[in-house]
Amino acid sequence: MTATERESMDYDVVIVGAGPAGLSAAIRLKQLDPDLSVVVLDKGSEVGAHILSGAIIDPCALNVLLPKWREMNAPITVPVETDSFYVLGEKGQTRLPNWLMPPFMNNHGNYIVSLGNVCRWLAETAEGLGVEIFPGMAASELVYGEKGEIRGVVAGEFGRNADGTPGENYEPGMILAGKYVLIAEGARGSLALQIMRHYGLSDGRDPQKFGIGLKEIWEVDPARHKPGTVVHTMGWPLGRNAGGGAFIYHLDNNQVCVGFVVHLSYENPYLDPYREFQRFKHHPLMAGLLEGGKRIAYGARAISEGGWQSIPKVVFPGGALLGCSAGLVNVPRIKGSHNAIYSGMHAAEAAHAAIRDGRSGDELTAYDTALREGPVGRDLKLVRNVKPLWEKYGLAGGIVLGGLDMWTASLTGAPLFGTMHHHKTDAAATGKAADFPPIAYPKPDGKLSFDRTTNVAFSFTNHHENQPCHLKLRNADVPITVNLPVYAEPAQRYCPAGVYEIVEDAGKPRFQINFQNCVHCKTCDIKDPSQNIVWTPPQGGDGPNYPNM
Q: Are strands 508-513 and 139-144 parallel, antiparallel or unpaired?
A: unpaired
Which among 386, 370, 375, 295 is positioned nearest to 334, based on CA atoms?
386
For each of the chain's 549 residues, which pLDDT tens digit applies? Answer: 344 589 999 999 999 999 999 999 999 999 999 999 999 999 999 999 999 998 999 999 999 999 999 999 999 999 999 999 999 999 999 999 988 888 888 999 999 999 999 999 999 999 999 999 999 999 999 999 999 999 999 999 999 999 999 998 899 999 999 999 999 999 999 999 999 999 999 999 999 999 999 999 999 999 999 999 999 999 999 988 999 999 999 999 999 999 999 999 999 999 999 999 999 999 999 999 999 999 999 999 999 999 999 999 999 999 999 999 999 999 999 899 999 999 999 999 999 999 999 999 999 999 999 999 999 999 999 999 999 998 888 878 888 999 999 999 989 989 999 999 999 999 999 999 999 999 999 999 999 999 999 999 999 999 998 999 999 999 999 999 999 999 999 999 999 999 999 999 999 999 999 999 999 999 999 999 999 999 999 998 999 999 999
Amino acid at 380: L
How crowded is residue 142: how many other Cβ atoms within 10 Å of its Cβ?
A: 20
DSSP 295: E
Q: What b-and-e string marks burial along 168-204, b requiring 16 or more CB atoms within 10 Å of the CB?
A: eeebbbbbbbbbbbbbbbbbbbbbbbebbeebebbee
- Residue-wise DSSP of 436-465: S-----PPP-SSS---HHHHHGGGT-B--S
Q: Evaluate if pTM is beyond 0.85.
A: yes
456 in Cβ contact with 519 (< 8 Å) = yes
Dist. CA 77–CA 62, nearest whole Å: 14
* Strand-pair partners of 244: 262
487 in Cβ contact with 526 (< 8 Å) = no
Provide the residue ranges of all domains of the chain, joining segments of one domain with +.
Answer: 8-70+116-205+312-373
Residue 237, preceding bond cis, omega within 30 degrees? yes
DSSP 481: I
470 in Cβ contact with 499 (< 8 Å) = no
Judge: domain 8-70+116-205+312-373, CATH 3.40.50.510: no
